[in-house]
Structure 1
């Protein structure tokens, strides 16, 4: 969920090239796949950040796959509904899941009986930087203003969150780093990020953790105010917005998106899929759009490398989950 500045940005080209070399042998071994349309399941509503990002990536990957790619939306139960559908699908490489931390968080929250280890990893693709946000005209102009406002206000400030999600953990870490007691704020729960954006625009809540895919145009039009970016460096698309670390808040946070397939999908098919995705995100125009328009870092990790990364992040999430009294 974190990355380290310039080294990470340089890593994208090295990672893609290395990944292509590692999976080239597998890809050559089974050039008859795919022979029909591939279905990508997005376990969220259409138009959300995951949809925006992955549609662009799969559009670029389609020529390398040689077959059409269709998107199916299956929101519900904190991404569990869509994940369960892919988990039970045929292990043939034709049904894929777009995933991020929500899958493991649902397991830790007792909402699902499965987590990332019950799937076959294709590749990690991008990490999207989290952005604490408020509506235009709010008295908070920087993230570092929030702690003082919490102590000064007669009524609790309202923070939008999606229950048991990455933004839930973001705010808990933010409160800890800012010296804010969760008991002094009002947590307002929403089903997804899109509904949080709508509530923020309507001034029904004070703050939400958003990102560039969901709110980039709203930042540009000044309908919403980015209070800081949870990255090691300022975002290319928001160069005037300070990082949280520049404001004295030691917090780096990203939503890490990748592709999973049903367990026991043949490794040579996984490799072909990973190769197509690697070639897609190596496209110069797509890389620029992901960085500047979508505030996302390309962090390509194919197959076993993605599996190892998810294992590491899972062990980071477990103690955090215990802090919010998850059932597991």
Structure 2
């Protein structure tokens, strides 16, 4: 055998061994704990929902899924950590629309396409809300109230976050001129709750995880639900569409992995989370405690969803001045 043929033969054997070892490693996945980065502090809706589902999903994976709260930089500290992690399936990101929102706001230079999207899990229905003493009783009355008090009506929001986009889309759907309203920025949901409770603002966008207890005790008034159907937990609260405001709005939570994560590993993770959501106790808690709906999408279906989601957010962003 010539030296060149010998070299090629050794190279071929080495390549075959590498492929075999890689295939075996993927077949045995997972072999250690998986880190789930949640780019928010503990106790919020995103943290609670991912912990709940992950605890069930790890039963199907055979290894623990360890939640790691990594708040900071508008949720981009955690997303960047996962984006730059090894694509081996042992670091995941549990996040939502904020990935695209941060790109649109100019906070980061990456969006969904910087990751390997694994699966959509839930959508949390958003709810325009007033304090209990406010004269507005329903979302359909907001436009008239703004018209009667131009420049004086205050809407709370976290700049460049989901509720910022919610109000921009709401104003458009309800025929409200943004020049006639005041958007008041807060750093987090907790401060928005305090501001509405103190009647420093007229309206805020909450959901059941953040506002449910206040709806129950009468501190806050839900004005509508931004969903095609009424919520079972609040059957007397109409949908925006019932009130003539053609708009749905939810916070869509899903799992992402570093770009380059093998498809076989992606499929294994998606399968485990899909099975977790088949647990009726889990799905019941998601709906009744967290005002969310289970919506499992994986593979091409999730990619299509993210494309449509980013297109809608991009359209809304045209009406937002992120410098203010």
TM over 0.5: yes
Distance 1:204 1:325 in 2: 23
* Structure whose alpha-carbon radius of gyration is higher: 2
Contact 2:151 2:182 in 1 (8 A): no
Find out whether 1:153 has 2:149 as its counterpart.
yes
Contact 1:161 1:187 in 2 (8 A): yes
Residue of structure 2 in register with 1:116 after alignment? 112
1:66-85 pair list within 5 angstroms:
66-85=62-81
User: C-alpha displacement at 1:154, in angstroms?
Assistant: 7.3
Q: Which has the higher mean CA deviation after the structures are superposed, 203-212 or 176-185?
A: 176-185
| Greater RCO (Cα-Cα under 8 Å, separation 6 or more) | 1
Where 2:318 maps in the other structure, the secondary structure is helix
User: C-alpha displacement at 1:286, in angstroms?
Assistant: 1.1
Residue of structure 2 in register with 1:307 after alignment? 303
The runs of 4+ residues in structure 1 deviating greater than 4 Å are 27-31
Distance 1:319 1:174 in 2: 13
The change in CA–CA distance for 1:214 and 1:30 in structure 2 (over 3 A counts) is: same
Residue of structure 2 in register with 1:297 after alignment? 293
Residue of structure 2 in register with 1:270 after alignment? 266
Contact 2:168 2:316 in 1 (8 A): no
Question: Gaps (5+ residues) in structure 1?
Answer: 1-26
Distance 2:188 2:205 in 1: 11
Distance 1:214 1:319 in 2: 27
Residue of structure 2 in register with 1:317 after alignment? 313
User: C-alpha displacement at 1:156, in angstroms?
Assistant: 0.9
User: C-alpha displacement at 1:295, in angstroms?
Assistant: 1.6
Contact 1:61 1:280 in 2 (8 A): yes
Residue of structure 2 in register with 1:57 after alignment? 53
1:95 maps to which of 74, 91, 94: 91
User: C-alpha displacement at 1:149, in angstroms?
Assistant: 1.8
What count of residue pairs does the alignment treat as equivalent? 301
User: C-alpha displacement at 1:204, in angstroms?
Assistant: 2.0
Find out whether 1:257 has 2:272 as its counterpart.
no
Find out whether 1:45 has 2:45 as its counterpart.
no
1:204 maps to which of 196, 200, 205: 200
Question: Gaps (5+ residues) in structure 2?
Answer: 1-22
User: C-alpha displacement at 1:189, in angstroms?
Assistant: 0.8
Distance 1:72 1:199 in 2: 29
Where 1:323 maps in the other structure, the secondary structure is coil
Contact 2:151 2:179 in 1 (8 A): no
Indicate the RMSD between aligned Cα atoms, in angstroms. Answer: 2.0
Q: Which has the higher mean CA deviation after the structures are superposed, 256-265 or 97-106?
A: 97-106
Distance 2:193 2:59 in 1: 34
The change in CA–CA distance for 1:250 and 1:76 in structure 2 (over 3 A counts) is: same
Q: Which has the higher mean CA deviation after the structures are superposed, 192-201 or 274-283?
A: 192-201
Contact 2:150 2:180 in 1 (8 A): no
2:100 maps to which of 100, 104, 129: 104
Find out whether 1:192 has 2:188 as its counterpart.
yes
